[in-house]
Amino acid sequence: MIIVMKRAPQKGFTIVELMIASAVFSIILLVALAGFTSIGRIFYKGVTINQTQDITNQILSDVTQHVQSAASISSNSGSTHYLTANGYNYYCVGGTRYTLNLMHQLDTSQAEDYSVGGNFGLVRDQLPGSTACAAPCATSSGCPSGSVSFNKPIEMLANRMRLMKLDIASVNGQLYNVSVTVAFGDDDVFSNPTDPNTIECKGSEASQAFCAVNRLSTGVYQGLHS
């Protein structure tokens, strides 16, 4: 006698079930991707803010230390408080010279250029010997009378940063107020990008992830450690 075994019918997924499962899985992936993207933006925003704060702190600390040990500080009494000569904006704090290229975004992928309007943001250098507060000079054809070429210059900003403001203003006698504003980001992420007092990050969360503005100020006495 021959016994015939019948197989139980095999159950599988229908096309409709597969489509529903795929749709649900796609939604889960989109939600997860949006979450990771948001976390990434928050992370980069934190890095951007911290880096900008660190650089601003370093500038403020460097300037105040030199003010405390300076026998003299050369500036004018105008609203901007810095000297202008040969196209440069600059301060002399004792023998230390700070040359400002205001509102210029530093690009460290390009060669350093300390000529007027070149690729620099805030350069610190030392005036040689007992040289008075001479204007900076960055020319291979010889410096004009009354100017001194950059001596071991150091760029104080980081890539994509711009110096919006550096004021060293006399308040009363030897008391000075030092104010620094540094911004990080491209032109299109700022509101009022040419006003150091009102410049702010604008736009969506995505654009603000790569934007930061930091302002610091302090009072310091000249010659305190001289």
Q: pLDDT digit string (tens) for 160-173?
A: 999 999 999 888 88
Q: Which pLDDT score, from 0 to 100, does residue 212 have?
A: 94
Q: Which of 208, 155, 172, 86 is nearest to 200 (CA)?
A: 208
Q: pLDDT digit string (tens) for 172-224?
A: 888 999 999 999 999 989 998 889 999 999 887 777 888 999 999 999 999 76
Q: Which pLDDT score, from 0 to 100, does residue 52 have?
A: 96
Q: What are 216's two structure tokens?
A: 């610091």
Q: How far apart are CA 49 and CA 52, in angstroms?
A: 5
Q: Which pLDDT score, from 0 to 100, does residue 15 have?
A: 76
Q: Which pLDDT score, from 0 to 100, does residue 97 have?
A: 95
Residue 197 CA: distances (Å) to CA of 103, 166, 183, 213, 217 = 12, 12, 11, 11, 13
How do 135-137 and 147-149 pair as beta strands?
parallel
Low-confidence ranges of the chain (pLDDT < 50): 79
Distance of CA 219 to the CA centre of its chain: 23
Q: Which pLDDT score, from 0 to 100, does residue 176 have?
A: 92
Instruction: Map out the domains of the chain as residue ranges.
Output: 36-221
Following DSSP, what letter does each residue of 180-192 receive, concatenated?
EEEEES-GGGEES
- Please report which residue ranges of the chain form alpha helices under DSSP H: 15-69, 205-208
Q: Which pLDDT score, from 0 to 100, does residue 77 have?
A: 53
Q: Which pLDDT score, from 0 to 100, does residue 200 have?
A: 93
Q: Which pLDDT score, from 0 to 100, does residue 105 have?
A: 96
Q: Which pLDDT score, from 0 to 100, does residue 6 have?
A: 57
